[in-house]
Structure 1
Amino acid sequence: MASLELINLRLKLAANILDGAASDIRDADYQPRSENILKIGCALAEIFEIQHRIYVTHPHLMPAYLSKKAMHSEMDKLLTRYMYVALWPVHLNS
């Protein structure tokens, strides 16, 4: 059985690969650029959601940079939620 440490590591690697792919699509001008990057962004959001669930139950796996309380973290969460809701219909129609 895979450990949460291994799952977390694989999710981190997958996120890094997807981030690089989005940069490559941007730089190569692969069309439809914004739609392709949006799809990668949605995949990254799903990975980050899984990682967040892991960190809630196993905070020792959370990277140090995420454990620091941001000055406006609640406002950031609210903005993120509104942006996700605003962009989600675009994702569903593609």
Structure 2
Amino acid sequence: MENSQGFSLTELLITLVLVTSISLTLLHQNAQINQMLRYALQRSFAIRLLDNNAERVLQGLPLTEIPQPFTLKMISIPQGKILQLTWGFKLPGRGCCQLQRKLFHS
């Protein structure tokens, strides 16, 4: 019997299946990380927009122009005002993208 050198077809197929499954898993994980990063960046920008406009309301200045996909709504209540900022980006399994600030009269 001769000594065979190299890899058998079974070993190559098992290696190919392992490499493919690991690659697909990493690709899926990368897509999830990118989506969560976009969500975090939009939420950070939303917090800044809401805080800046809350300061403007407290100083008696008009609200700034809000870029898309954000919408800002000011609701008057007897104690003061509520600023509500919503935007369209949404991750599956999470609540709607909305922030509020309650501004009370001094």
Task: Please state which structure has a larger fraction of its residues in helix.
Answer: 1
Task: Please state which structure has a larger fraction of its residues in strand.
Answer: 2
**TM-score grouping bracket, smaller chain normalisation:** 0.3 to 0.5
Highest CA radius of gyration, 1 or 2? 2
Relative contact order (alpha carbons < 8 A, sep ≥ 6): 1 or 2 greater? 1
**With structure 1 as the length reference, what TM-score do the two structures score?**
0.42
